[in-house]
Structure 1
Amino acid sequence: MADSERVSTRRSSPDNGLRTVTRRRLLATSGIVALSGCLGSERNESSNSVDGAVANAPIPSAPASFTYARTGTADRPTVTYYGNWKCPYCAEFSTGFLNDIIRDYVVPGDISLRFRSLSSIDGEPFLGPDSPRAARAGLAVWNVDPETYWRYHEYVFTNQPPESETWATTDKLVAFAEEAGVTKTEQMRTKIREQAYVSAIQETSRAAVDAGVSATPALVIDGQTVNPLSDEQQTRTLIEQLTDGS
């Protein structure tokens, strides 16, 4: 599947109800899929270790042939996850339901899943001026030490600082990588400072527009864009329909 995916657009609207736990969910209302959140949910830093399905997600052979982080066998149908490293709803998804998707569909070989960081919209940083730096850091880990990428992915989202803070500094991102077990952190630091992967990040923004994605988290599944937090069953149904046709 090409890195750019053109799919139908679904409009979104936020839910006004807030959960009393550390996360707030957006709910689908009247059949309209809510794609957005990221409205200031606070989160405590705790340096939590990780060892779940995402942290241990399998990577394809020849990972260097893939621009964006991927898990699963490359020749399987691809689901694309658009997220943002600073989005608290992405953290909720990545540390929750994404583990089930990896366990139930990626590990058995039904799908391949690709992560693309949406760090700018309409040419402006999305969720803070440090979002593009966080996107570069993720791509740097994927490119210099892909075996550790998914552990890094899970570690950052598990220990994600509050969205309101401009926390994605080079030093903080490298520290997260060190704590997650990334071995080539100096190469990662260099890539961040050199502003590597700018074209890949810009292409993600263009692909998100084509996919009708204007907020995160969002999954693109066989031409449909869905918020995986709003309806887990709908997400599973779309994935199973995709694999049935493969």
Structure 2
Amino acid sequence: MKPSRRKFLAVTGSAAVTSVAGVGSASAATPVSNVPVPDNTSQMYPVMGTDADNPTATVYGNFKCPFTQDFVNNVLPDLVDKYVVEGKLNICFRTISYEPYGRGKTHGTQSNAFISDSDPKISATHLGVWEEDPEAYWKYFESMFAGSLVSGTVTPEKLKPVMEKTGVDNPEEIVARVKKGKYDSLVKDSHESALDLKIEHTPTFEIADSTFVGPKSDEFNDLVSFINANLSKADKLLPKEDSEEVTSGESSGSGSGSATSTITLDGSSAQGWAKYEITVSGEFKQDRSMEASIEDSDVIDGSTASGGVGPWKDTFVYTGKITDLTLTQPIDVLRNEKPLDLEKIGANIKSESKKLDVKPATDSEETTQVKNALSGACSRR
């Protein structure tokens, strides 16, 4: 059995969603089952592409959606030929498995199809396939959209024949992980990500936080124009390791460059409220990787980020190098999900009596953060 690449918290839920687009004719382009997969497949969600460092777009879809099926069969292969195999763009697939605005509501006039309560497990199964056998994932994905779609109540066991037919390793183990809820938080997080982007329909194509709803085969030229207009703004999919370790507080740092890394402040061991201030030679943005929260009390001011953690995590994506890190108490700090030696990187630990200039959370904010952490609420976009 291949080693697991991620450990996840479980978050449960139920729901439904609708779909848009139209059903077209089959495409003669490259089969989705033959797409390249990056050498680094440690990303939580399935991705096709020649290199993990390529710009990345995301398709939000659903395995029961006939319009996602039309996109997969009649639009995606042409995108593969034009962008993916040429190394211009990676494409990630994430599912919407919960209804955004309450059961019984539709999101448009073209469909009244709903997602059942078993859809989160269908989505969890596809994540299990990706984790266990990324080389076989896109064959499994293509098969799920070939012919009749799965419908009604679908259990992970009912998807075992699809895994076996497409050569996926260890179907039994995948089913066991899904039943234990290993991927539930990731499924829930895709729902949260879709809400952040105000996505109400499947499929929706997203690049650089801009969206194209329900791309159909007769809209391919419009979709290409949309991609080209946003391609230069698209994020890299995976953090790229710098050739050197992070610098200490004495380092001046270099230019920001294009490589990105993540830094995670884990307050699980904190005694109360642990505040932090981080400065880098490049730029910051908040991120939900490592099941981190995003709160208004976290502040980014140029190349400096500051905030506080209790029994939860804060994560930032940054460019360049860490030039200064100050904490009010020792906590776990991870760079690209690997623990950092605070002494080695020259972190400055200040006591509460020497308060950092950090915007404090209100009692209500802190209470909400603690409740979210204790309930396992987490998301990643």
Structural mapping, 1:52-131, within 5 Å: 52-63=30-41, 65-72=42-49, 73-122=51-100, 127-131=115-119
Tell me the number of residue pairs that the alignment of Structure 1 and Structure 2 aligns. Answer: 199
Q: Deviations over 1:86-135 (max 9, x none)?
A: 11111111111101111110010000110001111338686111211110
Equivalent residue for 1:139, pick from 117, 122, 127: 127
The whole-number CA distance in structure 2 between the counterparts of 1:124 and 1:107 is 40
TM-score by length of structure 1 reads: 0.74
User: Superposition RMSD on alpha carbons, in Å?
Assistant: 2.5
Q: Is the 8 A contact 2:48 2:90 kept in 1?
A: yes
In structure 2, relative to structure 1, the CA distance for the partners of 1:215 and 1:135 (3 Å cut) is same
Q: By how many angstroms is 1:79 displaced?
A: 0.6
**Relative contact order, higher structure (CA 8 A, sep 6+):** 1
In structure 2, relative to structure 1, the CA distance for the partners of 1:160 and 1:196 (3 Å cut) is farther
Q: By how many angstroms is 1:244 displaced?
A: 5.5
In structure 2, relative to structure 1, the CA distance for the partners of 1:87 and 1:245 (3 Å cut) is closer
Q: Flag structure 2 segments of 5+ consecutive residues without an equivalent.
A: 1-17, 24-28, 104-113, 235-381
Q: By how many angstroms is 1:159 displaced?
A: 3.3
* Richer in helix (by share): 1
Moved more, 124-133 or 137-146: 124-133
Q: Deviations over 1:178-211 (max 9, x none)?
A: 1122122112111221122111111111110111
Q: By how many angstroms is 1:68 displaced?
A: 0.3
In structure 2, relative to structure 1, the CA distance for the partners of 1:143 and 1:160 (3 Å cut) is farther
Tell me, what secondary structure is at the counterpart of 2:39? Answer: coil
Moved more, 191-200 or 133-142: 191-200
Q: Look up the match of 1:182.
A: 168
Equivalent residue for 1:242, pick from 211, 230, 234: 230
Q: Look up the match of 1:156.
A: 144
The whole-number CA distance in structure 2 between the counterparts of 1:176 and 1:161 is 12
Q: Is the 8 A contact 1:133 1:192 kept in 2?
A: yes
Q: Look up the match of 1:222.
A: 208
Q: Is the 8 A contact 1:53 1:100 kept in 2?
A: no
Q: Is the 8 A contact 1:77 1:242 kept in 2?
A: no
Larger radius of gyration: 2
* Richer in strand (by share): 2
Q: Flag structure 1 segments of 5+ consecutive residues without an equivalent.
A: 1-34, 42-50
Q: By how many angstroms is 1:231 displaced?
A: 2.3
Q: By how many angstroms is 1:170 displaced?
A: 1.9
